[in-house]
Amino acid sequence: MSILRICCSPQGLASESYRLSQRIVERLATAGPSDRMDIVEFDATTLAHADGQYAVALASPVDPEGGAGGRGSLGMSDQLIRMLEDASHIVVATPMHNFTVPSSLKAWLDHVVRVRNTFHITPQGKVGLLKDRPVYVAISSGGAFSGPEARQPDFLTPYLRHVLGTIGLTQVTFISVESTARGPELLEEARQQAEIALDRIAFDLLPEEMIG
């Protein structure tokens, strides 16, 4: 089992989304053989945005000569796509910023959602090229965006479900800790609700050929 964890909060390891993602990683570790688990960490807040060379490559009708030898953000895109391909499970730790994904996560998506590499265009629309695998998204938000207490819209979960599906990742599970800015009592209640949600998830192993 190889877990790729993408961390998107400027608070890093101190963030609520990272804390929740760690609970997910622990559940996966319990479900699988610990002697065969590898965790790859990537801090998306360090990622530069796509540059001009990357934009030219995407606008080209064919892949630029050199492929994986691309420079600048094109080379980084190659590396991030390989990390995705090598992972059996993906865990995203992200806050909700202004009703949607933070810029760090958007930058990562812009690098990995790449025509002719992770999806291709057909007359019927875009078709993902990645082999499907589980994706767990740990979300933290200052206010509530789901349930009867929701007072803000949610553009994060539908966007992520659609954009990840575009590259072939359709097994997306969302777990959230909401109302983190509304005091310690509500935060503790939100953490408990997240634990209940985790208990309802079956962290099944993938087939042997997918894990190896």
Closest CA to 146 of 165, 174, 169: 174
Identify whether the C-beta of residue 85 lies closer than 8 Å to the C-beta of residue 130. yes
Greater model confidence, 140 or 63:
140
Residue that has been written with the tokens 């909060």 in this structure: 9
Under DSSP, is residue 173 helix (H, G, I), strand (E, B) or coil? strand
Chain centre to alpha carbon of residue 46: 15
Most confident region among 74-78, 89-93, 195-199, 203-207 by mean pLDDT: 89-93
Structure tokens at 56: 């030219």
How far apart are the C-alpha atoms of 186 and 193, rounded to whole Å?
Answer: 10
Query: Residue 208: is its pLDDT beyond 50?
Result: no
Which CATH number do you get for residue 25? Answer: 3.40.50.360
Residue 143, exposed/middle/buried by CB under 10 A (0-12, 13-18, 19+)? Answer: middle
Q: Which of 37-41, 84-88, 202-206 has the lowest mean pLDDT?
A: 202-206
Count structural domains, the chain: 1
Greater model confidence, 186 or 57:
186
Percent of the chain with pLDDT over 90: 68
Under DSSP, is residue 211 helix (H, G, I), strand (E, B) or coil? helix
pTM of the model as a whole: 0.89
Identify whether the C-beta of residue 203 lies closer than 8 Å to the C-beta of residue 37. no
Q: Residue 36: what residue type?
A: R
* Residue 6: domain span: 2-211
